[in-house]
Amino acid sequence: MIPERSASFARQQHRFFAFCVAPSLAALALITLLPALYLLATSFTQLSLTRPETQWDFSQPLESYRQLLSDSRLHNSVWVQVKLSFWTVLLQLLIGLLLALLLNMRTRLIEALRTVFLIPMVLPPIVVAIIWKVIYTPDISPMHGIFRALGWNVPALITDPDWALTSIIIADTWEWFPFTMLMVLAALQMMPQELLDAAKVDGASPWQLTRHITLPFIRGVLLVAGLFRLIDSIKAFPLIFILTDGGPGSLTEVTNYYSYLQAFNFSYLGFSSAITVALLAATIVLSWVIVRAVGWGTKID
Amino acid sequence: MTGPNRRAVLRGGAAAASLASGALTAPALLAQTKSPYAGTTINASCFQTTFFEYLKNYFPQFEEKTGIKVAFSMQAFPVYNQRTDLELSTKGSALDVVNATFIYTGRWIGAGWLTNLDTFTKDPKMTPADWAPEDFVAGTQSAMQNAKGETFAFSWEGGAMIQAAARYDLIEKAGLAMPTTFDELIKVCDATHGKEGVAAFTADKLHHWNWIPYLMGMGGGVFRAPPENLTPTLNTPQAAQSGEWYANLLMKYGPDGLLSYSDDQAMRSQMSGRANIRTQSITWMVPLAKHAESTVQKTVRYGLMPAGPAGNFSGCNSHGLGIPAGSKKKEAAWEFIKWALSKETLAMVVKDHGYPSVCRLSVINSPEFKNVLTLNGQDVASLYLEVLKLGGKTGYMKYRTVPVYPQVGDKINKAIERIATKQQAAPEALKQAQAEAIQDLQKAGIKVDT
């Protein structure tokens, strides 16, 4: 009798949970799933806002995807995206990690510095872009002013083909290294002191402590931070929109910016949707591969 | 006989006061109740521009006259175009009056997204005869009409491309004059570049507007025969020669970072005396002589855009006010357009603010306009009118009103940037632009010659 009553109670509990969660799931489906399905459906049309007859025209469902293969500017944008993502994620992880290790020391000065380092991350992205626009515009830039005073002839970085992408990487790294720093710092502060003490007793040097204790401990956090930054780097937009417009030429034109141009400047919503769907699929696959390759962290004995 | 007591006097006074106040407020109330639009609010939108900044000062007059309240919003140029393009495409009713942007007029009119305004102008009940639609300069109105000659917007701004030398004194010192040909322009730039720290030339990054007069001046063009034949002609020897020449003009004589300059940045580079010559719409040039922050008020001089071996093809465009097809308050919207672009309102904006780009002939030919646009003793009003007429005469600006110009313009911008930064030689860059433009045109369902 008792197990039956218990099973019935569990079923009731299940139903109650489902009842409670249902409105949230319905809202979520409405807000995220429907637009995603619409995006997918649109990608199978050649919808152009200036040609209303193309809406819901599925006569050539794979035409937009076929065009993806023959669009050299899109291919270039993918390569630009790869370079931007690689360098920004790498630099943000390295700088964030180094600063977190430094800031993990408990002194008053360092505690004050923590707050200062967080400023770039909490600024609205458009403000960050404007700050860097000022820095990169020679006429009004304090940086260029200093260079001139030192007698160095430094070209305008955002219009120089050798520097345009680097200037975006620098600005993006400045904006987002605090995110990695914050996550690593939180992990470091949860690290049991006994682990370090035990290693010290065994005669471990500071480098050995970092290499064999600290880094394995925060590996999972670094992976999560890296994944977040990777996904965010694929969404890079305000810096490119304000600083370079994808130029000079297409040197800083990443894939999502190209997709935006297709949709909002040229009204090719079908083609733009196909780019977005492909980008989304690539992001999911890439994240899965990284998680599988690196793992979620290691337990330390 | 007993005189009036205090209570009676007070009562009489109150009655008289209420009568008087009633009489005073009556005309306004009557006017408001007479208007069929009293209590209506219309939503209007345009890109950021001085004209509507000025016009907003007079909105209370319009609201008092018609009872229509105007909710007017302005955004940056690209933002406005994107939002409005999207709004018009859905045939929504969020906007009642929109700016018909020159490069989008072909698309918006062709797709049936704007209201035919002839229904209003031809109805004497809606439009009095003295409003005179024919008073608008023909050149500025051509973009606002379809092939049948029906009108979908009335122009409020004529963008006539002229030349301004912010530091004409440097040119004089070099023993030269305002350049009238491309060769003279290079000669002047060579002689003055870097003098007193001033760059000889400046421009903004909208190359698909700025470069085209130089392209046409060297015998090239954007399309084969717009609007009928939209086959791009960017891979011609003339285009390559002109692309190389223009990129050199920008990079050799422009200030550092010029390729990222917005309209405003380019204007500021002249106003602060850091750059000398620019060829652009008059709207960006007049502030050099008039703006309080301009340091070149005394040294600026104006001229027609230099001519190339094939002639003078000064850029000429216009922006107009129209009514979205989906608006539910079309008549109230027309009341606003009628008022905003009436001779009286435009004359007021010119007189009070010195606005230089109006499109009504009667205003342009008025002594006030001449007075406002006589800058450093130069009759800039005549230059303005000359360019507008030039644009209307041969129709060479038709390339810009075709529905696919935004796509092709983007390819031109990218190509000029690639040439200027030496990523590609001019023939290759423009060959690539040609191929990309064809691919885009085919995507838009447009047939091109093969």
Residue A98, token pair as written in the block: 């180094």
Helix (H, G, I), strand (E, B) or coil at B152: coil
Q: Is the pTM of this model over 0.95?
A: no
- Indicate the residue of A67, A158, A249 with minimum beta-carbon distance to B414: A249
**H helices within B57-149, ranges in order?**
59-66, 77-89, 102-110, 118-121, 138-141
Q: How far is CA B222 from CA A26, A34, B75, B172, B391, in A?
A: 52, 42, 29, 36, 16
Please list every residue in chain B whose beta carbon sits closer than 8 Å to the beta carbon of residue A248. Answer: 259, 417-418, 420-421, 423
CB contact under 8 A, A71 and B265: no
- The H or E element containing residue B165 is strand B153-165
Please check whether residues B168 and B305 belong to one and the same domain. yes
Task: Tell me which residues of chain B have a C-beta less than 8 Å from any C-beta of chain A.
Answer: 78, 82, 85-86, 89, 107, 110-111, 205, 255-260, 265, 269, 274, 403, 406-407, 410, 413-414, 417-418, 420-424, 436, 439-440, 443-445
Please list every residue in chain A whose beta carbon sits closer than 8 Å to the beta carbon of residue B75. Answer: none
**What is the pLDDT at residue B23?**
46
Please check whether residues B116 and B263 belong to one and the same domain. no
CB contact under 8 A, A67 and B443: yes
Cα–Cα distance, B164 to B274 (Å, whole number) = 14
**What is the pLDDT at residue A55?**
84
Please check whether residues B209 and B84 belong to one and the same domain. no
Which range marks the domain in which residue B170 is found? 160-315+390-443
By the CB < 8 Å criterion, does A268 face chain B?
yes
Please list every residue in chain A whose beta carbon sits closer than 8 Å to the beta carbon of residue B266. Answer: none
If you count residue pairs, one on A and one on B, with CB atoms under 8 Å apart, how many are there? 95
Instruction: Name the DSSP class of B94.
Output: S
Return the number of other C-beta atoms located less than 10 Å from residue B53's C-beta.
12
Please list every residue in chain B whose beta carbon sits closer than 8 Å to the beta carbon of residue A249. Answer: 414, 417-418, 421, 423-424
Cα–Cα distance, A255 to A232 (Å, whole number) = 13
- Residue A75 CA to chain centroid, in angstroms? 20
CA distance A145 to chain B (A): 13
Please check whether residues B302 and B321 belong to one and the same domain. no
Taking 70 as the pLDDT cut, the residues of chain B under it are 1-34, 392
CB contact under 8 A, A261 and B443: no
CB contact under 8 A, B407 and A265: yes
Which position has the higher pLDDT, B34 or A165? Answer: A165
Please check whether residues B94 and B145 belong to one and the same domain. yes
- Whether residue B122 lies inside any domain: the answer is yes
CA distance B32 to chain A (A): 41
Please list every residue in chain B whose beta carbon sits closer than 8 Å to the beta carbon of residue A267. Answer: 85, 89
pLDDT at residue A159 above 50? Answer: yes
CA distance B317 to chain A (A): 20
pLDDT tens per residue across span A59-70: 999 999 999 999
Cα–Cα distance, B71 to B94 (Å, whole number) = 11
Please check whether residues B166 and B289 belong to one and the same domain. yes
Q: Where are the beta strands (DSSP E) in chain A?
A: none
Burial class (CB in 10 A: 0-12, 13-18, 19+), A140: middle
Q: How many domains, in total, are found in chain B?
A: 2
CB contact under 8 A, A50 and B265: no
- Whether residue B20 lies inside any domain: the answer is no
- Whether residue B7 lies inside any domain: the answer is no
- Whether residue B34 lies inside any domain: the answer is no
pLDDT band per the 50, 70, 90 thresholds, residue A247: confident
Of the residues B417, B418, B440, the best mutation for testing chain A's interface (the one with the most A CB atoms within 10 Å of its CB) is: B417
Please check whether residues B261 and B395 belong to one and the same domain. yes
**What is the pLDDT at residue B5?**
56
Cα–Cα distance, B282 to B388 (Å, whole number) = 11
- Whether residue B24 lies inside any domain: the answer is no
- Whether residue B439 lies inside any domain: the answer is yes
Please list every residue in chain B whose beta carbon sits closer than 8 Å to the beta carbon of residue A245. Answer: 205, 260
C-beta contacts of B359-365 below 8 A and 24+ residues apart: B359/B136, B359/B137, B359/B140, B359/B141, B359/B154, B359/B155, B359/B156, B359/B157, B359/B158, B359/B318, B359/B388, B360/B135, B360/B136, B360/B137, B361/B135, B361/B136, B361/B137, B362/B132, B362/B135, B364/B137
By the CB < 8 Å criterion, does A15 face chain B?
no
Please list every residue in chain B whose beta carbon sits closer than 8 Å to the beta carbon of residue A263. Answer: none
The CATH number of residue B71's host domain is: 3.40.190.10
Q: Which residue has the tokens 């025209």?
A: A57
Burial class (CB in 10 A: 0-12, 13-18, 19+), B22: exposed
**What is the pLDDT at residue B8?**
55
Residue B96, token pair as written in the block: 């009642």
Q: Across all residues in chain A, what is the average pLDDT?
A: 90
Residue A214, token pair as written in the block: 């600290």
CA distance B398 to chain A (A): 19
Please check whether residues B78 and B192 belong to one and the same domain. no
**What is the pLDDT at residue B12?**
55
CB contact under 8 A, A48 and B205: no
Q: Which of residues 221-250 of A touch B (CB under 8 A)?
A: 243-245, 247-250
CB contact under 8 A, B417 and A248: yes
pLDDT tens per residue across span A198-239: 999 999 998 999 889 999 999 989 999 999 999 999 988 999
Please list every residue in chain A whose beta carbon sits closer than 8 Å to the beta carbon of residue B107. Answer: 50
Residue of B nearest to A50 (CA): B111
**What is the pLDDT at residue A88?**
97
pLDDT tens per residue across span B436-448: 999 889 888 889 9
**Interface TM-score (ipTM) > 0.85:** no
CB contact under 8 A, B256 and A266: no
Q: Which residues of A111-127 are buried (b: 16+ CB within 10 A; e: fewer)?
A: eeebeebeebbeeebee
By the CB < 8 Å criterion, does A73 face chain B?
yes
Cα–Cα distance, A64 to A43 (Å, whole number) = 7
Helix (H, G, I), strand (E, B) or coil at B317: strand
**What is the pLDDT at residue B13?**
54
Please check whether residues B226 and B90 belong to one and the same domain. no
Of B104, B84, B80, which is closest to residue B92 (Cα–Cα)? B84
CB contact under 8 A, A266 and B410: yes
A20-48: average pLDDT:
92
Please check whether residues B93 and B108 belong to one and the same domain. yes
pLDDT tens per residue across span A99-149: 999 888 777 787 788 888 999 999 999 999 999 999 999 988 999 999 999
**H helices within B155-281, ranges in order?**
168-173, 182-192, 207-210, 212-217, 237-253, 263-271
CA distance A157 to chain B (A): 8
- Whether residue B381 lies inside any domain: the answer is no
Please check whether residues B292 and B178 belong to one and the same domain. yes
Please list every residue in chain A whose beta carbon sits closer than 8 Å to the beta carbon of residue B423. Answer: 161, 248-249, 251
| Domains in chain A with CATH codes | 63-294 (1.10.3720.10)
- Whether residue B5 lies inside any domain: the answer is no
Please check whether residues B136 and B53 belong to one and the same domain. yes
**What is the pLDDT at residue B11?**
59
CB contact under 8 A, A267 and B422: no
